[in-house]
Amino acid sequence: MAWRGLHVSKPSRLSFADGQIVIAQDDGNVRLALEDIAWVVIDTPQATLTSSLLSACMAAGIAIITTDETHTPSGVALPFHRHFRQGEIAQRQIAISAPLKKRLWQKIVIAKIENQASVLEALGRMGAEALRAMADHVGSGDPDNVEARAARHYWGKLWDGFRREDDGDVRNKLLNYGYAVVRSGVARALVAAGLIPSIGLMHASGTNAFNLADDVVEPFRPFVDVLAWRTAENGRPSQDALTVEHRRTMAGLLLDGAKLGEDEVTLLVAAERCAESLVRVIESGTPDPLVLPSFVRQQ
């Protein structure tokens, strides 16, 4: 079972041999069992991958994330037809009713806001009680857009003087890097469960290939936020650019812990179980089977 990620930040040649990823660099070769890898981040323009490795990664269900010249994740490669019931599940997904979509979105938004409250508590910030009160008022489909009101409150309490739209702020760079990684992990899990990432619940853009991933990823976002806060020196960034250490930290996000029911699992496993539970939702016609991650306060 895949349980680890790979972050490539130095000039490398990646190939496939004997069931392993072979990473050739100036200081030698490293071999990793392909079956252990869930995602790969190619974070350098000086890396090459062989076609045999690409094929093997797709067959193994590995997500490959690429970055642009600013080291911001810009693309993801995912396998097709990873589930033996792909067609059947896809048909059920397409036919999901509007009321069920709204009730699922309600659960997702509530989970996101509750995780935001838990993050504020874990970081010793104020405002968690107000967020929990907002979560109690999220209706089916969130018609009052409580999610947006909670977000404004949350960002104001998490960081003083922070603006989410400031692309030059290193905190936003950390967030965007982490969001892209966790979004890729969620998309990977959805594909493995037989779901089509482009067919969403609330997200319905005709140009977005990951509408469903953008729905499901919402409760995962606060996990990115807390890691970004800690990586930015407890919320007070001293640099304007992402360092290799910053990027490596955010790339490992999917191995952070989460609570799923009574179990403590990694975010990678949480994404997989969440996707599997969404299939059960589609088959049963009720939102009850959906499981979403809860933030676990780290000691």
Q: What is the CATH number of the domain that holds 51?
A: 3.100.10.20
Its domain, for residue 54, covers: 4-77
Statement to judge: residues 121 and 57 lie in one domain: no
d(CA 107, CA 219): 10
State the DSSP string of 10-52. SSEEEEEETTEEEEEETTEEEEEEGGGEEEEEE--SSEEE-HH
Instruction: Please state whether beta strands 37-42 and 63-67 pair in parallel, antiparallel, or not at all (unpaired).
Output: parallel
Q: Does residue 166 share a domain with residue 100? A: yes
**Strand 257-260 and strand 73-77: pairing?**
unpaired
pLDDT higher than threshold 60 for residue 201:
yes
The CATH number of the domain holding residue 202 is 1.20.120.920
Joined tokens for residue 58? 């797709």
Joined tokens for residue 204: 């319905």
Can you read off the two tokens belonging to residue 280? 């059960």
Structure tokens given for 39: 């995602």
Q: Is the pLDDT of residue 290 over 60?
A: yes
Answer with the one of 77, 95, 115 that is the final residue of a domain.
77
Q: What angle do CA 159, 163, 164 make, to 5 degrees?
A: 100
Considering 45, 77, 109, which residue would you say is the last residue of a domain?
77
Question: What token pair was written down for 245?
Answer: 């250490």
pLDDT greater than 90 at residue 207: no
pLDDT for 299 equals 45
Over residues 38-77, the pLDDT tens digits come to 999 999 999 999 999 999 999 999 999 999 988 889 999 9
Residue 293 lies in a domain: no
For residue 155, the SS3 value is helix
53 part of a folded domain: yes
Average pLDDT taken over every residue of the chain: 92
Which of these ranges, 17-26, 166-175, 248-257, has the smallest mean pLDDT?
166-175
Q: How many domains does the chain have?
A: 2
Same domain, 25 and 93: no
Contact 281, 289 (CB under 8 A): yes
Burial of 29 (0-12, 13-18, 19+ CB in 10 A): exposed
- Cα separation, 215 vs 218, in Å, equals 6
According to DSSP, the β-strands at 257-260 and 4-8 are: unpaired
Cβ contact 32:23 at 8 Å:
yes
- Is residue 291 domain-resident? no
Contact 97, 286 (CB under 8 A): no
DSSP 294: B
Q: Mean per-residue pLDDT for 198-206?
A: 91
Specify whether 57 is located in the same domain as 104. no
Does 162 share its domain with 242?
yes
Based on the domain organization, do 236 and 164 belong to the same domain? Answer: yes
> What secondary structure does DSSP assign to 112-141, as a single string?
HHHHHHHHHHHTT-S-HHHHHHHHTT--TT
Asked whether residue 296 is domain-assigned, the answer is no
